[in-house]
Amino acid sequence: MKNRIGIVTNDLKNQDKYELFLSLSQECNISLITTSSELGLYSNISKIYNISTERLFKDKIGSLIYLFSSICNSITDTQFPKRNLYRKNRFIVNQLHFIKLALSRINLLPSYSKFIETLYKNDLRNEKVLAECDIFIFDSLLINVEDFHSLLGRVSSMNSKILIADVYSWDNVHYSSMTYFADYYFLWNKELKSRLIHDHPALIQKEFRYTGVQYMNYLTSLKPNKKYCTDYILYAAVFCDDILGECEILLVLDLADKIRRALPNIKLYFRPYPSVDRSFYYRLYDHPGIEVKEYGVHSRRYENNSEVIRTECNKQEKMDLIYNAKAFISTGSTFTLEAAYLSTPIIQLDLEDGEGYQSKIFERLHISDHIIKTLFLYEYPNVVRSTSELLFALEGILNERTKENYLQYGARLKEFVNLKKKPDNRERYIRILKDIAGDGT
């Protein structure tokens, strides 16, 4: 008898997750568990369960519960006052944060996970679905999606079920809310575990398995083509909100102007953020030194179709775009890790002392914590702290005699990505899951 596994997700247009689902379905008895009526890639899947989205509390009460839960050591929580650029009554909110911080340090506030675990442990609305699966796999950040609280909170109290939190992307560990009640946590590697434990000490006694990155398997299955005639530098957008998106546009325009003056034969290729409409970037389209690289198709996601997002359709084009770039300028996009794997030289922006829009971007992002501090990459020449340093690094990369000095940074990141060809990361994921599940009998 095959293991009965439920994949819990609303990300139904993600090609990588869908391919993993299909691979698992060949080895196990797989069900899709979702709250979305738009099934996307999964429309032909036979075993689909739409679970109840009715909540015990209205959204505002849920937000209050979250507000009065303890903080962890994540960047989002510890740097909250510095990052809090949007709220009205910012001063009051920040003072409340300091009170919350003090209460958390003396363990007087429960975690958000503990609230969910306690509130929903006796919730019986999804018992039929629970009876169909023995193992439940979900993205570790789904704790932030209230529609799944009923299911996850209930499973957490059932000793007969196994709950697996998939820490899907490299930056998940830096977010404030993480599920603490799963039985296993799937991570890329041991380096990510040390960061996760630092940010979330409550997880120190949990079981961890290292599955490698799952959404970059195309890097091992495809081969890059050298095909672009234009010399270009690539930048991928990292912000989707209006305030920081506007700051990012100003940064890109500034970079394009300076690159054009110093290196007139080189263009800046700009990759838009997936969920931002092209009209938002109208000033970039008019700039003679910038080429906006559109991609994929637009589609809607989430159960209320609240977000329009580009869906990647051609991974070969993405690979070739990164591979053929003279350099990739990084402010934290996962393109950084893909560029590292393809040996495209990386320039890592760390403009924390910048003025105006630069200051806003790098106070909010804390990219030095996300990549540089996590992997101890301060001393590499790729890490630049001003646009003048950036131009110096570009000249070094374009010079064949000094280019090698800038490739070690990417080599270190490539180790962190840890993509394997045989067995590939998808095979490793399946093997680890079957080991946890046993023989299914």
Q: Are residues 312 and 352 in the same domain?
A: yes
345 in the same domain as 231: yes
CB atoms within 10 A of CB 415: 12
Tens of pLDDT, residue by residue over 58-113, are: 555 666 666 778 888 887 787 777 666 666 677 888 888 888 888 888 888 888 88
The whole domain housing 101 covers 70-105
241 and 205, same domain (yes or no): no
pLDDT tens-digit profile of 133-168? Answer: 999 999 988 777 778 888 999 999 999 999 999 998
Residues 225 and 122 in one domain: no
Q: Is residue 288 situated within a structural domain?
A: yes
Pairing between β-strand 383-384 and β-strand 346-349 as defined by DSSP bridges: parallel
Of 270-274, 378-382, 396-400, 406-410, the poorest mean pLDDT is in 378-382
* Domain assignment of residue 64, yes or no: no
DSSP structural state of residue 277: -
Whether residue 440 is predicted with pLDDT greater than 50 in this model: the reply is no
Kindly report, residue by residue over 198-247, the tens digit of the pLDDT: 889 989 999 999 998 888 888 988 999 987 778 999 999 988 778 788 88
Residues in the chain, overall count: 441
Query: Does one domain contain both 133 and 163?
Result: yes
* Percent over 90 (pLDDT), the chain: 37
Residues 329-373 have pLDDT tens digits of: 988 788 899 999 999 999 988 776 555 555 556 555 555 556 666
Same domain, 359 and 395: yes
| More confident position, 32 or 221 | 32
**In the predicted model, what is the mean pLDDT of the chain?**
84
230 and 153 together in one domain? no
**Residue 389 within a domain:** yes
Name every residue whose Cβ is closer than 8 Å to that of residue 151 and which is 6 or more positions away in sequence: 8, 33, 51, 126, 129, 130, 136
Distance CA 156, CA 76 (A): 25
128 and 48 within one domain: yes
Q: Do 116 and 143 fall into the same domain? A: yes
Predicted local distance difference test score (pLDDT) of residue 152 = 93
Phi/psi of residue 181, nearest 5 degrees: -105, 10
- β-bridge mates for residue 299, sequence order: 309
> Is residue 170 included in any domain, yes or no?
yes
Average pLDDT over residues 305-325: 80
Q: Residue 63 domain-assigned?
A: no
Q: Which residues, 6+ apart, have CB-to-CB distance to 404 below 8 Å?
A: none
Q: How many domains does the chain have?
A: 3
Looking up residue 373, the CATH number of its domain turns out to be 3.40.50.2000
In a domain, 405, yes or no: yes
232 lies in the same domain as 373: yes
Residues 281 and 145 occupy one common structural domain:
no
Run of H or E including 30:
strand 29-34
185 and 48 assigned to the same domain: yes
Q: What is the pLDDT of residues 405-435, one digit of tens each?
A: 999 999 988 888 878 777 788 889 999 999 9
Q: Tabulate helix, strand, coil % of the chain (nearest 5).
A: 45, 15, 40
Strands (E), 188-284: 207-210, 232-236, 267-271
Q: Kindly report the CA angle at 135 between 130 and 141, in degrees rounded to 5?
A: 95
